[in-house]
Amino acid sequence: MSSDFSSRLLPCITVLIFMCWIFVTNVSRQPGHLAVVQFLAAATVILLATVWVVWHYRKFNQTIPIRWIMITAVLLRFVSLCGLPLFEDDYYRYMWDGYQTITTNDPYTLAPAVFFDREDYPEIFDSVLSLINYPEIATVYGPVTQWIFALGYLIQPAAIWPLQLMAGVADVCVIILLYKLGAGRALLFYAWSPLVLKEFSLTAHPDIYAILAMMLGIYLVKKNQLWLAGIALALGFGAKVFAVLALPYVLSQRWSLRYWRILCGGFLLTIILITFSFGTVTVWTPEGLQAMADSWLFNSALYLLLLEILPFQSIKLLLLGIFAGFVLLTCLTALHKSRRETLNSQPQPEQASTMWQESSFVFRGDWVFMIFLMALPVVNAWYVAWLLPFATLYPRFWSWGMSYFCLLSYFTGANLGHTDQGSLDLPVTIVAIEYLAVVGLTILAAIVSQFYPSYKPFTRL
């Protein structure tokens, strides 16, 4: 039965996946008031079909062919080039920042609004400039992403397809790293994920470069390439600040001054070189990031609950303080365990040079990033993608459920065709459904596992 599924039904399901994604790319070029519903319907079909495939291979204890996963992943991301960013207008900023980086090497000083009454820029950017959101803010993106935007400008100015192509390539590289890190059948979840496909190869969100650099750093740590790992983690931080959360966990895995010195040396040297290339430290605190952290609120369940009893800034300090305590506690625990193991092992001198070759490093980034997201006042759908590489390595129902239900956050007034002042607001009902659905799915999986011992929802899929 299993071979019949692989030879006949798997190709049919794959065709269905491609039909759904082609439908999404067509919707992206002809958006309407029903675009969110159409996208969610296609995403539902893709997710259910993927669950069926993974569940079947799990039932027969077989591995999904990696060639099939890689080929379909590449082709799906190639299909994305036929579409346009969906439910997003951030890409106008990407194109403008790329132009500014190439021509001035400084996208951080002058806001796009400064150029509204000027004509000293290429005419091709007229429509781009007029469609940038929050034009009074210079930029929100880090220095490494500015280099990516600049490369897109060099390939073709004021065009989105180069950025979609580069994001798709980076995403495929993440899949390769996940395979090398030991991802099992759940790798298909990532390769076919509607959230991943939509946010990266279709919408070209630069978060994928931070994810790639972070996963590369973790892979290099496992391979004992510590200097290169430090460089990779620094590049991830330069792409998006969330990637720096991997650093304390990486450092806490070894009780060794040499280990810390090499990793931190590569990290700090790269940070210095990045800063020097732009000539200013403001690349690490862009104006847009400051504005976003100061007052923006979107799709955050805990903030909406606590605003009834606490002011916004107090909630932010409380939740981020709890998260910082969580990071400190878990890192100190790992460091204490590493110190105890190091003292007990006492390697011989001839073993000292190879003692890190077989690394058992474990970074539960799914939990870390989920708790981090709960502490943030803004939880955009693509933020959930931060934890999906770890959800692939440690597949759980709650994490992949979140990757689906977070798509409900696109039911904003703007995406539904509303033009009033609150068009970017997300109904509280949607936020409640989004988070309660994940909690309910997790509880249901736990209950079912009690009645059916052979059903193990908390093991590898």
Domain boundaries, the chain: 91-159
The pLDDT value recorded for residue 45 is 97
Give residue-wise pLDDT tens across range 302-313.
999 999 899 999
Q: What is the pLDDT of residue 17?
A: 96
Q: Output the pLDDT for position 444.
A: 82
Statement: residue 111 has pLDDT above 60: yes
Amino acid (one-letter) located at 306 = L
Mean pLDDT for the stretch of residues 310-322: 93
State residue 98's pLDDT score. Answer: 96
Report percent pLDDT > 90 for the chain: 66
Distance CA 271, CA 234 (A): 6
Q: Tens of pLDDT along 169-209? A: 999 999 999 999 989 889 999 999 999 999 999 999 999 99
CA distances from 434 to 38, 344, 398, 410, 430 (A): 18, 47, 12, 11, 6
Who has greater pLDDT, 364 or 164? 164
186-190, 316-320, 332-336, 358-362: which has the minimum mean pLDDT? 358-362
Measured CA to CA, the distance from residue 32 to residue 140 in angstroms comes to 28
The pLDDT score that the predictor gives to residue 355 is 37
Residue 398 confidence (pLDDT) above 80: yes
Q: What is the mean pLDDT of the chain?
A: 88
pLDDT 10s digits, 242-258: 999 999 999 998 888 99
- Please name the residues in contact with 66: beta carbons below 8 A apart, sequence gap of 6 or more: 179, 187
Please report which helix (H) or strand (E) contains residue 13, including its range.
helix 10-29
Contact assessment for residue 231 and residue 364, using Cβ atoms and an 8 Å cutoff: no
pLDDT at 346: 56
Task: Note the pLDDT of residue 321.
Answer: 95
pLDDT of residue 70: 96
- Residue 342 tokens read as 């190091």
43-92: pLDDT as tens digits: 999 999 999 998 888 877 888 899 999 999 999 999 999 999 999 889 99
Q: What is the mean pLDDT of residues 142-168?
A: 96
Short-list 199, 197, 179, 177, CA closest to 187: 179
